[in-house]
Structure 1
Amino acid sequence: MQYYKFGERSGRYIGRSKKYDVYSSSIDQIIEEPEEFDDKNSGEIYFNYGPSAGGLRESVNFKLLTPGESIMDAIIDPEYKKRDIKIIGDSISNALLKVERVNGFHCASNTIAYILAIEDALKIENYDLNEMRIVEIELERIRSNIDVIKGLCESAGFAVPEKRLLYLREEVARIISRSFGHRYFFSANNIGSISGDFSSIKLSNIEKNFREIYDGLLSSKIFLDRIQENGIVKNEISTGPAARSAGYKYDARNDSKSLNYGHFKIITESDGDSFSRFNVRSLEIFESINIIESYNLKNRVTSKKKEIYGSGQGAARIESPAGDIFYYVDIEDGKLKDIQMVSPTYLNLKLFRQALKNNNIFTDFFFVWESFGIWISELEVNFI
């Protein structure tokens, strides 16, 4: 395993790809996932949930250790979603089409990180596009956070706010579709170009409606009882909302050189439970709207896309909705010699396991799961 230090900060760890541990020399504790449980105690049983089961949007298997109701431990097997993507040897632009589809729901985060890594490798400066890229990522963050909160409402049986959030998620998707030609940003980004009509981005109704839903959830004792002191995890190797909900001000928007955000508010909580993760994501929706509205992009015109040639190695790290996402590329004569991606799912799955076995019972399972916003599809990709 090689170490890739990229803007290293003490006490921070991103995760692992096939060849690289990102920030691995900065931290001693790396959570290893066991293949099997230690010997179970008398009265404890194994309980399998998944890989195809209600409430799970992706195929993943959980082997739970339980005496009947409390969850003592969990082993997570995500390999049902494993995919080999033939990409080595592709041209930069052809590879981009495949990177876009690693996780369609987080397409902007993956493609922009990949493009920034390409630009780093080939010493291309497209700083004039960075504000537009930030707007894309923040739109994606708004939609993703709404989706996570929708899942928490669904788990609680709160049908009315769940359906309202589904409607808002669709409204954000339609804003993205009108502005970029595709609800998942497919084909919107290329080296040196962005295809988008930023004058179509109007978020005042999204902000107003989400504020009503958010205030209503905060006033519901039933909802709060389900997520407060549920799934507590405080670990310095956390990333994304899971880190910020435990008081760690880890945010690649603040400390990564890949995109210059400038001033914005880092939202933190201190309890590290499902409520804290819910609250961080909720408040980040409002902050993302503020970030988007701080830019005047109505009359921006981007250059035409073009094929890129050259050789070099580069990397980029950005803050996806789930946490740090990292891309490394090695380019030879305009073709990919190597590509590595580190997804926040690597850490979030391990943190979920820690949170799940911290005095939780079976009815807590879905609240803990939804609060992390995990996408297995980003973890189980093997670039070949």
Structure 2
Amino acid sequence: MKALSAIFKKGGKYLTVWLDYNTGKAELEFRDSLPDRKIAPALIGETGAYMKIPPGTNAVPLTFGPAAGGLGQAGAFEILTYGERIVAIRPVYGYKRRGIERAMLNRPIDESLAVLERATGNFAMAYTYAFLKAVEENPDEDVWEVRKALLELERLYNHFNAIHKLAGAASQKVATMHFHALEEDVLRIFSRLTGHRYGFGANRPGEVRILEPKAMERLRGIKEEFRSLTDELLESKIFIDRLHTTCRLTREDIMELDAVGIAARGSSVERDVRTFDRFYSYKPVTCKDGDALARLMVRIEEVEKSFEIIEGSEVRSVRSDSSPKDGLNLGLAEASHGDVLVLAELEGGKLRWIGLRGASRINYVAFAKGITGNIFTDFPFGLESFGLNFADADLWQGGED
């Protein structure tokens, strides 16, 4: 079944992107109106349709955010409640809208790439990977092998970040600080490898720049620490109890909402761009329960797979002959929270139009579906199990005509 993956406004019409996760085949379609899919309003930033007020309710509306502890970034949720239980909820987009896409236009590729890296720093490797997939002609496999390793390294610290936040929500203070330290260790590896903690400047047109390859030697110790910490964390019955059955999504929910990434795989739906990425050989990790615990278990298994992929790659500087690819082209990358999508149009080697869609724009809606009916103290466990951020959700419209 094809998923509705993105909607952009271009030439006075809606440009829709449909993706078959089994084959990797994408279809682009210009439409006068939105397609009849539940995720369609959110893909253009309109989330009011998801706030359904039950008839006869005496629930009270409140807004959580845009500046509130527990959200991490400027963003908000509108919540309907009559006390402790969440009756209805919707994400509110737009607070992190910065016009990144327009700032990328009419520049040479390397300059556009430097702007894109700063759109949402913790997913910089994923966005640059997807962007270069869209705009590079004749990609060199050696270059992509290193880019793949950097993408998996980025996945590691984002997964560590999500686990440390889940542990923190359950007051598992020792585990919280240790997983936070693992995240910091990976960021320091990035700093030594590339000169920047988020890898800015590493992925360039036709090349990958690596400053200190020996920095990767620290990864072996991180893997051993991760395994030990994970064993201890999963022995905590209090921690497991807080995640079990919390913010549950069924397989049918995933299909109905076109959800992606961790959200989908935690509900036994194998949606992972790496399965049809020519530079990967990958089988997705899934779990059937669909709750916050299931999403955690998927992360833990994915960390192990990331270690394997990185250890099988030689991280070094690589350069190849490459040229920009004119026309409208699609690029995808599987980030830690789900796939990011780049639709780029080049003319004469310069970027003339671009559309960006992060997994957060889709999966905040999935989170809202799952957390409905839960109590407020379950909110952080549900939210952190998705690993989303609002900067990623607010990349959407592209260079709208």
Identity of aligned residues (%): 31
- 1:316–1:43 distance in 2 versus 1, CA, 3 Å: same
C-alpha distance in 2 between matches for 1:239 and 1:253:
13
Instruction: Give the corresponding residue for 2:32.
Output: none
State the shift of 1:213 in Å: 1.6
Kept in 2, the 8 Å contact 1:227–1:273? The answer is: yes
C-alpha distance in 1 between matches for 2:94 and 2:155:
26
- 1:333–1:57 distance in 2 versus 1, CA, 3 Å: same
In the TM superposition, 1:196-275 aligns within 5 A as 196=210, 197-202=212-217, 203-234=219-250, 235-236=254-255, 237-257=258-278, 260-262=279-281, 264-275=282-293
Instruction: Give the corresponding residue for 1:5.
Output: none
Instruction: Give the corresponding residue for 1:320.
Output: 335
Q: Indicate whether 1:105 and 2:122 are aligned.
A: yes
Letter in 2 for 1:118: V
State the shift of 1:313 in Å: 2.6
Q: Indicate whether 1:129 and 2:143 are aligned.
A: yes
SS in 2 for 1:209: helix
Kept in 1, the 8 Å contact 2:360–2:388? The answer is: yes
Decide which of 301, 308, 314 is 1:290's aligned counterpart: 308
State the shift of 1:14 in Å: 2.6
State the shift of 1:44 in Å: 1.3
Decide which of 25, 28, 51 is 2:66's aligned counterpart: 51
SS in 2 for 1:116: helix
Kept in 1, the 8 Å contact 2:67–2:74? The answer is: yes
Letter in 1 for 2:7: R
SS in 2 for 1:23: strand
Instruction: Give the corresponding residue for 1:157.
Output: 171
State the shift of 1:309 in Å: 5.8
Instruction: Give the corresponding residue for 1:23.
Output: 18
Kept in 2, the 8 Å contact 1:316–1:328? The answer is: yes
State the shift of 1:28 in Å: 6.2
- 1:254–1:50 distance in 2 versus 1, CA, 3 Å: same
Kept in 2, the 8 Å contact 1:145–1:281? The answer is: yes
Q: Indicate whether 1:331 and 2:349 are aligned.
A: no
Kept in 1, the 8 Å contact 2:331–2:342? The answer is: yes
Kept in 1, the 8 Å contact 2:285–2:302? The answer is: yes
- 1:205–1:89 distance in 2 versus 1, CA, 3 Å: same
Kept in 2, the 8 Å contact 1:241–1:322? The answer is: yes
SS in 2 for 1:330: strand
State the shift of 1:337 in Å: 1.1
Kept in 1, the 8 Å contact 2:135–2:326? The answer is: no
- 1:309–1:151 distance in 2 versus 1, CA, 3 Å: closer
SS in 2 for 1:216: helix
In the TM superposition, 1:181-196 aligns within 5 A as 181-196=195-210
C-alpha distance in 2 between matches for 1:69 and 1:47:
12
C-alpha distance in 2 between matches for 1:142 and 1:253:
16
- 1:190–1:363 distance in 2 versus 1, CA, 3 Å: same
Decide which of 71, 91, 110 is 1:76's aligned counterpart: 91
Instruction: Give the corresponding residue for 2:186.
Output: 172
Kept in 2, the 8 Å contact 1:168–1:206? The answer is: yes
Deviation per CA, 1:25-46: give whole Å up to 9, x if none: 9996433432554465343111
Decide which of 374, 388, 391 is 1:360's aligned counterpart: 374
Instruction: Give the corresponding residue for 1:66.
Output: 81
C-alpha distance in 2 between matches for 1:92 and 1:265:
32
Instruction: Give the corresponding residue for 1:4.
Output: none
Instruction: Give the corresponding residue for 2:294.
Output: 276
Instruction: Give the corresponding residue for 1:118.
Output: 135
C-alpha distance in 1 between matches for 2:173 and 2:182:
14
Letter in 2 for 1:256: D
State the shift of 1:340 in Å: 1.1
C-alpha distance in 2 between matches for 1:310 and 1:328:
12
State the shift of 1:18 in Å: 3.8
State the shift of 1:89 in Å: 1.2
Kept in 1, the 8 Å contact 2:272–2:334? The answer is: yes
State the shift of 1:279 in Å: 0.8
Q: Indicate whether 1:370 and 2:365 are aligned.
A: no
SS in 1 for 2:240: helix
What's the C-alpha RMSD, in Å, of the aligned pairs?
A: 2.1
C-alpha distance in 2 between matches for 1:168 and 1:230:
26
Q: Indicate whether 1:303 and 2:319 are aligned.
A: yes
Letter in 2 for 1:280: V
In the TM superposition, 1:332-351 aligns within 5 A as 332-351=347-366
Kept in 2, the 8 Å contact 1:70–1:362? The answer is: yes
Kept in 2, the 8 Å contact 1:14–1:324? The answer is: no
Kept in 2, the 8 Å contact 1:13–1:238? The answer is: no
Deviation per CA, 1:76-125: give whole Å up to 9, x if none: 21211111132221221111111111111111111111111111xxx333
Instruction: Give the corresponding residue for 1:147.
Output: 161
Deviation per CA, 1:311-364: give whole Å up to 9, x if none: 33322111111111111111111211111112111210110110110x300000
C-alpha distance in 2 between matches for 1:305 and 1:380:
34
Letter in 2 for 1:146: F
